[in-house]
Chain A
Amino acid sequence: AQKITQTQPGMFVQEKEAVTLDCTYDTSDPSYGLFWYKQPSSGEMIFLIYQGSYDQQNATEGRYSLNFQKARKSANLVISASQLGDSAMYFCAMRGNTGGFKTIFGAGTRLFVKA
């Protein structure tokens, strides 16, 4: 069975500092995709970054980067130069070959950015 684990219910970071949000996954699929989403208090889920299991390099999108360690089955999100607007829930998600049409989501990490 596929599973996503986010072990940090909440995280604090000082403005302008970097922060790492943890995500581990479990799958037997040889091919899969990993996604990170941001959900502000308004409710909308905002897509941040994608990493394919066969991608050789870690994905980057602006201030977001994904620290992908395939052997450890981890896909941590790194946010550099944190801003107050980064305060939100962050969800890690995975989609595998045998998951049918399902993308499974982790429980999320709430990030608080302090001024």
Chain B
Amino acid sequence: ETGVTQTPRHLVMGMTNKKSLKCEQHLGHNAMYWYKQSAKKPLELMFVYSLEERVENNSVPSRFSPECPNSSHLFLHLHTLQPEDSALYLCASSQDARGVSVQETQYFGPGTRLLVL
């Protein structure tokens, strides 16, 4: 059983819809991440939160809006998406986010497969 859960697992939405992805970690970690994984492209970092503060915004379009109400929960709010936003969205958490040690090992959730029509 994974320590990081994501809901929903699958989502189909139209370009005018508003939806949210939810991530919850049960590992007591201090950092959480959103990644986008498209077919035939490397994993793309979108956002990083450390101690509930956003510390990385990797040039992500404003139609993606993250929210981190506490260290255990992370949301990704979606609005007016484009078909090219269809991808697997992965959430991850790590104990720390500011170093290069094993404490920065990221543990991933199962992902949300998003299809934008």
CB distance from B30 to the nearest CB of A (A): 12
Say yes or no for A18: interface residue by CB 8 A criterion: no
Give the chain A neighbours of B102 by CB distance below 8 A.
Answer: 33, 50, 52
- Asked whether A44 lies within 8 Å of B110 as measured between CB atoms, the reply is yes
Q: Which residues of A contact B66 (CB under 8 A)?
A: none
The A38-66 residues at the B interface (CB cut-off 8 A) are: 42-47, 50, 52-53
Most B Cβ at <10 Å: residue of A45, A46, A96:
A45
B42 close to chain A: CB less than 8 A: yes
Contacting residues, chain A, for B45 (C-beta < 8 A): 102-103
- A55 — nearest CB in chain B belongs to which residue? B102
Closest residue to A29 on the B side, CB-wise? B100
- Stretch in contact with the other chain, from B16-24, B69-77, B78-86, B90-98: B90-98
Determine whether B104 belongs to the interface, using a CB cutoff of 8 Å to chain A.
Answer: yes
Contacts of A101 in B (CB 8 A): 31, 48, 50, 55-56, 97-98
CB-contact partner of A102 in B50, B56, B90, B111, under 8 A = B56
Q: A35-B105, A46-B108, A100-B56 are in contact. Are A105 and B43 (CB under 8 A)?
A: yes
Q: Is the CB of A44 within 8 A of B111?
A: yes
Q: Are A45 and B100 in contact (CB under 8 A)?
A: no
Please measure, in the bound complex, the distance between the C-alpha atom of A39 and the C-alpha atom of B42, giving whole angstroms: 13
State whether A50 touches B105 (Cβ < 8 A). yes
Residues of A within 8 A of B105 (CB): 35, 47, 50
| A47/B106 contact (C-beta < 8 A), A91-B43, A105-B42 known | yes
- How close is B31's CB to chain A, nearest CB, in angstroms? 8
A50 CB → nearest B CB, Å: 5
Taken together as a complex, chains A and B put the C-alpha atoms of A3 and B2 apart, in Å, by: 29
B101 at the interface (CB under 8 A from A): yes
* Minimal beta-carbon separation of B101 from chain A (angstroms): 6
Contact residue among B2, B55, B101 (Cβ-Cβ distance under 8 Å from A44): B2
Expressed in whole angstroms, the Cα–Cα distance for A107 and B109 within the complex equals: 19
**Interface positions of A (Cβ within 8 A of B):** 29, 31-33, 35, 37, 42-47, 50, 52-53, 91, 95-97, 100-108
Task: List 20 other contacts, CB 8 Å, given A45-B92, A105-B43.
Answer: A44-B2, A44-B110, A45-B106, A47-B106, A47-B107, A50-B105, A52-B100, A52-B101, A52-B102, A91-B43, A95-B104, A100-B56, A101-B31, A101-B48, A101-B55, A101-B56, A101-B97, A101-B98, A103-B104, A103-B106
